[in-house]
Amino acid sequence: MDNNKNEWLKLFAVMGGEDWWERKKLECEERGVEIIKLHASAQPSRQIKLNNEIKNFGQVYLRLLIQQEGEYYHEERIMPYLTIRNNEGVRLVSRSKQNPGTELNNLSHPYQKKDSKRTTRFVYDRFAAVQYAERWWNSYNPQYEIFEVDCTNYVSQCLFAGGAPMHGYPNRSQGWWYQNNQWSFSWSVAHSMRWYLSGAENMLFSKEVESAQELNPGDVICYDFEGDGRFDHTTIVVAKDANDMPLVNAHTNNSRHRYWTYQDSLAWTPETQYKFFRIGET
């Protein structure tokens, strides 16, 4: 693997150090893939001066070249960091250990109400949904609100770009919609989207399937990292690897072509549960 010592030290500090690396190695071993090359670079964003401290916020851009059965692809990640400078020196603080999709404020508002009778099935343009996911994986469409926990908002935008119809406005606990700078819980909250996608009346015509391998680009995965019934994260499938398994894009800790299990995430636990949804196909 091609990288220099300083980049490795910086990367380890930001991403959880040896714990992250052990998780990544285990994931690669289980998949039978090899990391051929890794590039990491720091990108400062803003500075705050307060009393005797200077806080510098930024992000590390990570790009891995992965080989699998003679095929190659790039996985990309953005990991936030914070350096604190004071009289004692400089300290680097990881900002990436939080669950990458926990919306605590709205957990009491899952999707609860049935929609009106569904209209004619829409034609889901998977290519357009994936194209949108690739365009905005590491940036933010100014037509939408940006959330601190942005994973479900991002996936909703991708689905809408693929032709998924909004409905339910202005009831936030009904339907799936974004309108007049307001949005339904199912649009922005991972737990709410999981239950909306499971609902027999949802207008996305989603179908829950048993395995990740049954998904196609444009489909959705929901994550319950603690296995406690509270879903924390949402991703969209954008490609399949050499073993026909999903590679996903996501926001919050922005990721592109990441292996679907998230086993390398510091939020992942052995109790992690998944829900797999095919869109527009029930």
Residue 202 CA to residue 254 CA, distance in Å, equals 28
Q: Which tens digits make up the pLDDT trace of 139-150?
A: 999 999 999 899
Model pLDDT, residue 49: 86
User: Would you call 45 exposed, middle or buried from its count of C-beta atoms within 10 A (0-12, 13-18, 19+)?
Assistant: exposed
Instruction: Please report which residue ranges of the chain form alpha helices under DSSP H.
Output: 5-15, 18-31, 126-135, 151-161, 185-188, 190-198
- Greatest Cα pair distance, the chain, in angstroms, is 66
For residues 245 and 42, which has the higher predicted lDDT (pLDDT)?
245
Quick one: angle between helices 5-15 and 18-31, nearest 10?
Answer: 90
**Of 15 and 234, more confident:** 234
- The Cα–Cα gap between 21 and 17 comes to 7
pLDDT in tens, 57-74: 888 888 999 999 999 999
Give the tokens for residue 221.
């995965």
Residue partners of 51: CB distance under 8 A and separation at least 6: none
Whether the predicted pLDDT of 218 surpasses 70: yes
Question: HEC string of 207-247?
Answer: EEECCHHHCCCCCEEEEECCCCCCCCEEEEEEEECCCCCEE
Q: The whole model's pTM is what? A: 0.85
Quick one: pLDDT band at residue 266, thresholds 50, 70, 90? confident
CA–CA gap between residue 255 and residue 240 (Å, rounded): 15
Task: Return the amino acid letter for 94.
Answer: S
Q: How far apart are the first and last CA of the chain?
A: 44
CA-based Rg of the chain, rounded to a whole angstrom? 19
Domain ranges of the chain: 5-94, 104-278
Distance of CA 154 to CAs 98, 132, 190, 253, 276, Å?
18, 10, 11, 12, 17
Distance CA 159, CA 144 (A): 14
Asked if 189 and 112 count as a contact pair (C-beta separation under 8 A), the reply is no
Instruction: Say if residue 9's pLDDT is above 70.
Output: no
Q: Which CATH superfamily is domain 104-278 in?
A: endopeptidase domain like (from Nostoc punctiforme) (3.90.1720.10)
Reported confidence tier of residue 261, pLDDT bands at 50, 70, 90 = very high
